[in-house]
Amino acid sequence: MVIGISTFDFQLSTFMSLLVLGTVAFDTIETPFGKADRIIGGAGVYISWAASHFHNDIKLVSVIGDDYPQAELDALTARGVDVSGIEKRAGEKSFFWAGKYHMDMNSRDTLITELNVLENYSPVLPEDYRSPEMLLLGNFAPAVQMEVLKQLKTRPKLVALDTMNFWMDIAMDDLKEVLKQVDVLIINDEEARQLSGQYSLVKAARTIREMGPKYLVIKKGEHGALLFYNEHVFFMPALPLEEVFDPTGAGDSFAGGFMGYLAKTGDISHESMKRALVYGSVTASYCVEAFGPNRLKEIDDSALRARTLEFLSLMDVTVEEIR
């Protein structure tokens, strides 16, 4: 397998600016190994921490209540994430989600989704948010994802989107509308099946790509991820981990690492996306090692570099000839 990563340059760079939309939330998480009550979470938070290991020109748009700790926003700012696009609503509560993982840690049930500030949220992008070169529409109401797109002055070079079953259940038509404008869709296998109505992921990918996205990434938890583009299918395993503590945010961390790498290099070719899948997987592998985004906050370049090498050695095979 050749994916062409020859240098491990984790120096931050800002080849293309990256705008991120995603929830900034509180989560209650139950896994077979423990429970964490009302900890920091949200797709926008995981994405930003993940992408900040590659890139330091990230702008985050979201909404919170006055219950969200300022110190968490300051920590993001210190990582090069501009949080001036996060609207703070006095007297309201931040988005809250509670989920419980099954024994295999690959599947979970949503126990509670309290939209709170997300109800009636209509984003207003600050002036300096309106011309990003890359856009990651993280998990959010599809109507809000569309609103962000509408407020941009120019179309970004790459638009990626993540969503989940919750929005497919209540806003499928809006989601299909926004998908028409998306280049890369990043979802998990269950979501791909729900969106397409197809069990076979190959058929699902064909159906979904007809909805708009040229590229489709299907995440399969501990079983890796698939990248579909035209008739090509590329497979990336996940690192077999000794400790999986809390998978929450793994999908968002994957998307953040993936887009952070693409924005850092400015290369949005198919080959570059294959490499981005490595960095997305490496970043997600750290996320699951602790509750919340804690591991993503701790790691540094040398940790990422070491795990990237470990990761590549998983696929260290040269096929000379197939008989």
Give the dihedral of Cα atoms 170, 31, 75, 286; nearest 10 deg.
Answer: -100
- Give the one residue of 94, 139, 281, 294 binding ligand AMP; rule: CB under 6 A: 139
How is residue 33 annotated by DSSP?
A: T
Among 7-15, 70-78, 250-258, 296-304, the segment contacting ligand AMP (CB under 6 A): 250-258
Nearest one of 44, 71, 52 to 137, comparing CA atoms:
44
Sole window of 9-17, 39-47, 300-308, 315-323 interacting with ligand AMP (rule: CB under 6 A) = 39-47
Selected binder of ligand AMP within 54, 101, 129, 140 (CB under 6 A)? 140
Q: Give whichever of 17 and 31 is closer to ligand AMP, judged by the CB atom.
A: 31
Classified as helix, coil or strand, 299 is coil
The yes or no reply on residue 23 touching ligand AMP (CB under 6 A) is: yes
Residue 181, both tokens:
């404008």
Interface pattern 290-319 for ligand AMP (x via CB under 6 A): ------------------------------
156 binds ligand AMP (CB under 6 A): no
Does residue 43 interact with ligand AMP by CB under 6 A?
Answer: yes
Side chain identity, residue 257: G
Whichever of 140 and 215 has its CB closer to ligand AMP, that residue is: 140
3-state secondary structure of 240: coil
Q: Which is nearer to ligand AMP, 89 or 206 (CB)?
A: 89
Q: What is the largest CA-CA distance in the chain?
A: 69
Is residue 248 near ligand AMP by the rule CB under 6 A?
yes
Contact 23, 139 (CB under 8 A): yes
Please list the helix, strand and coil fractions of the chain in percent, rounded to the nearest 5, in that order: 40, 25, 40
- Neighbouring CB atoms inside 10 A of 201's CB total 19
* Segment contacting ligand AMP by CB under 6 A, of 1-9, 23-31, 51-59, 269-277: 23-31
Please tell me whether residue 164 binds ligand AMP under the rule CB under 6 A.
Answer: yes
How far apart CA 252 and CA 283 sit, in angstroms, is: 10
Binding site for ligand AMP (CB under 6 A): 23, 25, 27, 41-43, 97, 113, 139-140, 164, 166, 248-252
